[in-house]
Each structure stands twice: as structure tokens, then as C-alpha cells.
């Protein structure tokens, strides 16, 4: 069981100015100092039962219930009035509440028995689940613009602040979803060097939305679909393995608990993933190199209907091509090193949708644009050393190149490199570990939106104590 309560501040970072994060300290707060409402109350309970009937046949059942409650009053940025050093940004504020309840149960059967004289593993099972999600929003009034470079905010938003959900609401919506699925997976050993993996899953996904403010926004959506997958592995020697995989998935219209007239009658978006990769072991397994090339395609992405822009059609296309490289192992006794590098080319290949750029003010098509918050280059280099059998120290660098924060590629987040470190004491019955994040206290931006840049973690620490029994 996990139970977590949090009483914290909500902060949407710093405003975007002329296509980049405003040159202000990342700790600059543009909200109201006595109005930082954000509370979480989360409880998740999981029960797992395993039973082995014999050496060939076993079953595993997992049940999970989650109860999530979040209430917050957010301050968002909108239009910027660019007058140089006296520039201001408009703000909006709303009180929001989003309780959610989930229940999922999954049962897996595993049967290991040779087939036609070849090793074979069969896995089959079923999953059922329910999710109930509610969302309420009430906007404050009288929220004034604020200076970007010399922000001075009143101590409160005043009499127009939304303090409760009485009176007129902007949103009051309840969405329930239900999933029933069955699946089968088989791994067949053609020879000791060649293994074939094939599977499919059949989903029945139902969603129902009840809009308490407008019955015209009450919608239902049902999806029934197979999702096949195929993989092939070749291991010619004990120090190398190579693989190929192909798989599909789908995105129903109600994936984010929101249906509209534009999406309710649409079929799901279809995705397919192609990947080839290799794994090589060197120096008797002390050093391992991995590499993979992949393509992820969405072949019928939602896009605006050119005849009726208020509706969506499935005529878009999105594609991500990628390369992943990794190296991990023990260079010397007690000295471990790992490094990963990822190259991503994420593009909207085809789209009818247009959006207005926040910098140019022009309406632009999303076609040909790069996906939001996807760095072309990213990676991690990490090393650790055991000074003694009990004491371990380590450190590394996390890197990401620049990326776009808006759909029409007018707003950019700069690249960054962040240094972390750790020291740990390992005992037979317990571990104590201290982590320091952003050791050099570098100011950087981890993600963003068209109007705001969200800073990464400043210099901070975490102490963890684990008991083993």
C-alpha cells in the first residue's frame, strides 16, 4: 500500500518572451505569494497472488485500486505585451479539482512445455479495469497582467478569487471508462540460436462522458481492436544477440478523459513500431554494448477537417525515427561505468491543423513541424566506484539538446547539461544512500509550453534508507 499526502505550491515557471524563456531568475514567482494552493491525497493498494500448479503451469493475479484527489489554484500565462524592459504578461487563474478512482485486475497464465520437440513458452490471460474521473474548474476574476522583468504582485487576487465551487463553473465533467481485454503470447525456440515471439491483444474500451453544465457535451465512445506483435531473436554465440520487432497499438478518443463533438465518433488513432537492435558482450561479460534503430509511426492522427474545422478527421501522420546506443560494465574491479545516447527525429508528416504562433502571430500548419519537447540529442554518462565493499560513490551528467516548446516551432528551450552525485553505504540488512541533484546548481529548463518555461530541479538532495529482510 502506498499513501501520500502533499501540500505544496504550484508554479508554471517563467514566461516565454520573444520565443525563449525570459531572462529572469528561474526562482522568480509570477503568482500570488499567499495563494499557492496545491494538495494531493493518494492511496494505491496492490495485491499479487502467484500459484504454481506444477513445473510447467503457473498463474499470477494482480489487483490494484487507486484513489487520487488533487485540488489546486493555478496561474497561467497568456498574451505578452512586448514593450522591451517594461513588457507585461497577461495571467489567468482558476480553481481546479480532479478526483480519480481506478481499479484493474490482470490474470496471467504461463505454460512451459516443448512443442513438436522445440522449447515453447505460452502466456495468456485477461485484464479488466474501470476508471472514474471528474474535473471541475472555476475561474477567478480581476487577475491583472504582471511585469515580466520587474514583477510585483499583490498579496491576493482579491474578491474575484475562486475559493470554492459554488456559483458558476467553467467546467463540471464526469468521465468513466471500462477496459476488457484478452491476450495471448507465445515464444517458440526454432533452434537454440533462433527464437520467435508472436502475440496479440484484443481490447474492448468504452468511455462515457457526463457534462453537468451542457447536455450537448454528453458523449459515448466504444473501441474494439486487436493489437498484434511479432519479434525474432538471433543469438549465434553466447556473447552476441540481435533482434527485430514489430508491434501495434492504438489511441482512443477518450484517452485523456475528454470527449467532444470533434472526436466522439472517431475511430482510434493507429500506431506501429519497428525496431532492430543488437547486444554485444565483451571481456567475459564485464562490458556490454547495445544499439537499436526504431521507427514509431502514427498513421491516422487526428487533424482538423478542412471542410468543417470544428470537427476532426483521421488524416494526419506523425513519425519518430530514433537511434539508441548504450555501454555499461565494469572497467576495473569495483569501477562501473554506463553511458547512453539517444538521437530522435520526431516530425508531423501530414496535418490539416493550423495554430497561431505566439511570436509571429501568424496562422501556421502543423505539417512539417517537430514534435513538442523532443530533444534531437540526449544522453546520460554515469560512473560509480566501491571504495570498500560497503561504501560506494558515484556521479554523472545528464544532457539534452535544445527543443521546441510549441507546436508551430516558434518557441525554443535551450539545451542543458546537469551533474548529479551519490554516496551510499551498503549493509547486509540495510542501505543508506544520499543523492545530490544538480550539483553545480545550474539553471536550466526541463520542459515548456508555448507561453511558459518550466525550470529543472535546482541544487537539492535526497536521503534514502532501505531495510532488507
> Per-residue confidence at 21, pLDDT binned at 50, 70, 90?
very high
> Per-residue confidence at 33, pLDDT binned at 50, 70, 90?
confident
Do residues 352 and 339 lie in contact, with contact meaning Cβ atoms separated by under 8 Å?
no
Q: Which of 206, 157, 129, 176 shows the shortest CA–CA distance to 30?
A: 157
State mean pLDDT over 280-303: 95
State mean pLDDT over 273-279: 98
Given a cut of 90, whether residue 158 has pLDDT beyond it is: no
pTM of the model: 0.89
> Per-residue confidence at 154, pLDDT binned at 50, 70, 90?
low
Q: What is the pLDDT of residues 326-337, one digit of tens each?
A: 999 998 999 999
Alpha-carbon distance of 420 to 422, in angstroms, equals: 7
Give me the DSSP letters along 319-358. Answer: EEEEEEEEEEEEEETTEEEEEEEEEEEEEEEE---EEE-T
Q: What is the pLDDT of residues 178-223, one digit of tens each?
A: 999 999 999 999 999 999 999 999 999 999 999 999 999 999 999 9
DSSP state of 275: E
Given a cut of 70, whether residue 156 has pLDDT beyond it is: no
DSSP state of 266: P
> Per-residue confidence at 142, pLDDT binned at 50, 70, 90?
confident
Given a cut of 70, whether residue 343 has pLDDT beyond it is: yes
Residue 134: partners with Cβ closer than 8 Å, 6 or more residues away: 97, 98, 99, 100, 173, 174, 175
More confident residue, 61 or 308: 61
Predicted confidence at residue 310, as pLDDT, reads: 84
Do residues 24 and 17 lie in contact, with contact meaning Cβ atoms separated by under 8 Å?
no
Alpha-carbon distance of 341 to 379, in angstroms, equals: 4
Do residues 169 and 138 lie in contact, with contact meaning Cβ atoms separated by under 8 Å?
yes
Given a cut of 80, whether residue 3 has pLDDT beyond it is: yes
Alpha-carbon distance of 184 to 122, in angstroms, equals: 8
Give the up-direction half-sphere exposure of residue 404: CA atoms within 13 A in the CB hemisphere.
Answer: 16
Predicted confidence at residue 148, as pLDDT, reads: 96
2, burial (CB in 10 Å: exposed 0-12, middle 13-18, buried 19+): exposed
Alpha-carbon distance of 460 to 446, in angstroms, equals: 16
Q: Which of 121, 116, 115, 71 shows the shortest CA–CA distance to 96?
A: 71
Percent of the chain with pLDDT over 90: 87
Domain ranges in the chain are 1-169
Sole residue written with cell 562501473 = 336
State mean pLDDT over 422-443: 96
Alpha-carbon distance of 30 to 25, in angstroms, equals: 11
State mean pLDDT over 104-116: 94
State mean pLDDT over 68-84: 94
Given a cut of 90, whether residue 274 has pLDDT beyond it is: yes
Q: For the chain, what is the mean pLDDT?
A: 94
Q: Which helix (H) or strand (E) segment is 278 a member of?
A: strand 269-282
Do residues 112 and 179 lie in contact, with contact meaning Cβ atoms separated by under 8 Å?
no
* 254-283 b/e (C-beta count within 10 Å ≥ 16 → b): beebbbeebbbebebbbbeeebebebebee
For the CA atoms of the chain, what is the radius of gyration? 26
Given a cut of 80, whether residue 407 has pLDDT beyond it is: yes
> Per-residue confidence at 299, pLDDT binned at 50, 70, 90?
very high
Do residues 409 and 373 lie in contact, with contact meaning Cβ atoms separated by under 8 Å?
no
Predicted confidence at residue 56, as pLDDT, reads: 95
State mean pLDDT over 234-244: 96
Q: Which of 310, 269, 453, 302 shows the shortest CA–CA distance to 372?
A: 453
More confident residue, 285 or 68: 68
> Per-residue confidence at 117, pLDDT binned at 50, 70, 90?
confident
Amino acid at each position: 500500500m502506498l499513501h501520500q499526502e502533499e501540500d505544496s505550491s504550484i508554479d508554471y515557471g517563467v514566461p516565454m518572451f520573444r520565443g525563449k524563456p525570459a531572462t529572469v531568475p528561474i526562482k522568480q514567482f509570477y503568482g500570488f505569494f499567499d495563494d499557492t494552493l496545491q494538495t494531493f491525497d493518494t492511496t494505491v493498494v496492490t495485491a499479487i497472488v502467484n500459484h504454481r500448479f506444477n513445473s510447467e503451469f503457473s498463474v499470477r493475479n494482480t489487483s490494484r485500486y487507486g484513489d487520487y484527489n488533487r485540488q489546486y489554484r493555478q496561474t497561467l500565462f497568456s498574451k505578452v505585451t512586448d514593450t522591451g524592459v517594461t513588457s507585461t504578461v497577461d495571467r489567468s487563474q482558476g480553481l481546479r479539482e480532479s478526483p480519480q478512482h481506478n481499479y484493474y485486475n490482470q490474470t496471467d497464465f504461463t505454460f512451459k512445455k516443448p512443442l513438436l520437440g522445440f522449447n515453447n513458452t505460452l502466456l495468456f490471460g485477461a485484464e479488466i479495469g474501470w476508471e472514474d474521473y471528474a474535473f471541475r474548474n472555476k475561474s477567478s476574476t480581476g487577475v491583472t497582467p504582471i511585469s515580466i522583468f520587474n514583477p510585483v504582485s499583490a498579496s491576493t487576487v482579491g474578491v474575484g478569487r475562486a475559493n470554492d465551487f459554488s456559483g458558476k463553473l467553467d467546467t463540471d465533467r464526469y468521465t468513466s471508462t471500462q477496459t476488457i481485454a484478452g491476450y495471448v503470447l507465445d515464444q517458440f525456440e526454432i533452434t537454440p540460436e533462433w527464437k520467435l515471439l508472436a502475440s496479440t491483444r484484443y481490447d474492448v474500451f468504452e468511455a462515457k462522458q457526463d457534462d453537468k453544465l451542457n447536455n450537448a457535451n454528453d458523449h459515448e465512445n466504444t473501441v474494439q481492436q486487436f493489437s498484434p506483435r511479432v519479434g525474432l531473436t538471433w543469438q549465434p554465440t553466447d556473447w552476441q544477440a540481435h533482434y527485430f520487432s514489430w508491434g501495434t497499438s492504438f489511441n482512443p478518443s477518450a484517452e485523456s478523459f475528454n470527449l467532444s463533438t470533434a472526436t466522439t465518433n472517431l475511430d482510434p488513432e493507429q500506431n506501429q513500431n519497428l525496431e532492430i537492435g543488437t547486444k554485444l558482450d565483451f571481456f567475459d561479460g564485464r562490458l556490454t554494448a547495445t544499439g537499436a534503430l526504431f521507427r514509431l509511426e502514427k498513421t491516422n492522427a487526428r487533424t482538423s477537417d478542412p471542410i468543417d474545422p470544428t470537427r476532426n478527421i483521421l488524416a494526419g501522420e506523425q513519425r519518430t525515427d530514433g537511434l539508441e546506443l548504450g555501454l555499461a560494465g565494469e572497467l576495473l574491479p569495483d569501477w562501473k561505468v554506463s553511458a547512453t545516447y539517444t538521437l530522435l527525429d520526431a516530425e508531423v508528416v501530414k496535418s490539416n491543423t493550423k495554430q497561431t504562433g505566439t511570436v509571429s502571430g501568424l496562422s501556421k500548419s502543423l505539417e512539417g513541424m517537430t514534435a513538442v519537447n523532443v530533444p534531437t540529442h540526449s544522453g546520460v554518462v554515469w560512473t560509480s566506484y566501491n571504495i570498500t565493499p560497503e561504501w560506494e560513490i558515484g556521479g554523472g551528467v545528464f544532457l539534452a539538446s535544445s527543443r521546441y516548446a510549441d507546436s508551430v516551432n516558434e518557441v525554443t528551450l535551450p539545451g542543458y547539461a546537469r551533474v548529479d552525485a551519490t554516496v551510499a553505504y551498503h549493509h547486509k540488512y540495510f542501505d543508506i544512500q544520499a543523492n545530490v541533484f544538480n550539483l553545480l546548481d545550474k539553471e536550466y529548463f526541463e520542459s515548456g509550453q508555448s507561453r511558459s518555461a518550466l525550470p529543472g530541479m535546482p541544487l537539492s538532495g535526497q536521503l534514502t534508507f532501505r531495510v532488507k529482510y
